[in-house]
């Protein structure tokens, strides 16, 4: 399973980030059955080179990359720079990027293509806002995000994309946020695979890694594992505390062993 930590613009100081990583490494090292899990930490990019080498259990990613390879784009970090500093993954199209930085589907598409060209795995976030949900537009929104985000990406490259369903209203920082239900997440997981099948073919759709994000914590994570609605999680606030994040991983792994 995948456990992707999205630290967002936290913590404020490098020494706190270092502490968080070393606590997590110690917990993971001392645990049984965690070894095969994919734990991916996406810290603020500026901390990346300071957080040590990835090891077999903890790897690194960034929360965003620039939409061009290089050049006059003040403030941006390119995918090559991120990779050079240890990122193997990049979150793309997080709703906070769309909301606060005006990122549109075309930019997501450019970023996904750059990631794939440089062998950085894109974790492409899709999901509807509360208004879109209320208007019954969830399926349409996800369809257009997938079609647009994957435009002109060939079958071979598409196999290397991770999709994350993250409804905007479920993100813990949203007003009155609550996690989506495991049943609904299962329905969306099936929908995503159906869209991928139509865009590519059924084998790719079946094998694609599809994650869930939005108010995931150590209590509710096992419920999604139990109904097999996800291949893992994108975790925001619950990833900022090593003990909480580790407990989320451990409980999910135990549940996975129970459901087989
Ligand atoms: P949350 O954030 O787990 O705090 O809801 C998830 C995300 O925004 O990626």
Taking a C-beta distance cutoff of 8 angstroms, is the pair 65, 92 a contact?
Answer: yes
* String of DSSP letters for 9-71: S--SSHHHHHHHHHHHHHHHHT-SS-TTSEEEEE--GGGGGGS----SSEEEEES---SSSSS
Taking a C-beta distance cutoff of 8 angstroms, is the pair 93, 126 a contact?
Answer: yes
Segment (H or E) for 124 = strand 121-126
Alpha carbon of 172 to ligand 1 centroid (Å): 6
pLDDT for 211:
98
Atom nearest to 95 CA in ligand 1: 8
Taking a C-beta distance cutoff of 8 angstroms, is the pair 99, 171 a contact?
Answer: no
111 pLDDT band, cuts 50/70/90, is very high
pLDDT tens for residues 9-48? 999 999 999 999 999 999 999 898 888 899 999 999 999 9
Average pLDDT, the chain: 96
Picking from 104, 85, 207, the residue whose alpha carbon sits closest to that of residue 112 is: 104
What is the spatial distance between Cα 235 and Cα 155, in angstroms, rounded to a whole number?
28
Atom nearest to 239 CA in ligand 1: 3
Alpha carbon of 111 to ligand 1 centroid (Å): 21
Task: Work out the end-to-end distance of the chain between its first and last CA atoms, rounded to an integer number of angstroms.
Answer: 12
DSSP 139: H
Residues having CB within 6 Å of any atom of ligand 1: 6, 166, 171-172, 213-216, 234-238
Rounded to two decimals, the pTM is 0.97
Alpha carbon of 239 to ligand 1 centroid (Å): 9
Percent of the chain's residues with pLDDT above 90: 93
Picking from 189, 221, 229, the residue whose alpha carbon sits closest to that of residue 205 is: 189
Handedness of CA 64, 67, 68, 69 (dihedral sign): positive
Atom nearest to 237 CA in ligand 1: 4
Identify the residue whose C-alpha is closest to ligand 1 atom 9. Answer: 236
Picking from 79, 9, 83, the residue whose alpha carbon sits closest to that of residue 44 is: 9
pLDDT tens for residues 229-245? 999 999 999 999 999 99
What is the spatial distance between Cα 216 and Cα 35, in angstroms, rounded to a whole number?
21
pLDDT for 69:
97
Place of tokens 């899709």: 126
pLDDT tens for residues 43-55? 999 999 999 777 7
């Amino acid at each position: 399973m995948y456990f992707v930590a999205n630290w967002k613009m936290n913590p404020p100081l490098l020494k706190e980030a270092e502490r968080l990583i070393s606590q997590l490494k110690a917990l993971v090292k001392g645990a049984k059955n965690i070894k095969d899990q994919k734990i991916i930490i996406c810290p603020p990019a500026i901390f990346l080179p300071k957080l040590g080498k990835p090891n077999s259990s903890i790897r690194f990613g960034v929360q965003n990359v620039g939409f061009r390879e290089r050049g006059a784009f003040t403030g941006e970090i390119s995918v090559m720079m991120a990779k050079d500093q240890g990122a193997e993954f990049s979150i793309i199209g997080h709703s906070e990027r769309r909301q606060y930085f005006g990122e549109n589907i075309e930019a997501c598409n450019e970023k996904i293509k750059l990631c794939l060209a440089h062998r950085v795995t894109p974790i492409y976030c899709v999901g509807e806002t509360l208004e879109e949900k209320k208007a019954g537009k969830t399926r349409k929104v996800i369809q257009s995000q997938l079609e647009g985000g994957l435009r002109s990406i060939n079958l071979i490259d598409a196999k290397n994309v991770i999709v994350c369903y993250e409804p905007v209203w479920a993100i813990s920082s949203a007003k009155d946020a609550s996690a989506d239900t495991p049943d609904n997440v299962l329905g969306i997981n099936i929908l995503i695979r159906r869209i991928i099948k139509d865009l590519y073919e059924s084998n790719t759709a079946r094998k694609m890694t599809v994650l869930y994000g939005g108010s995931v914590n150590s209590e509710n994570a096992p419920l999604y594992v139990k109904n097999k609605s996800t291949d893992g999680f994108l975790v925001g606030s619950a990833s900022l505390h090593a003990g909480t994040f580790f407990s989320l991983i451990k409980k999910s792994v135990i549940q996975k062993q129970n459901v087989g």
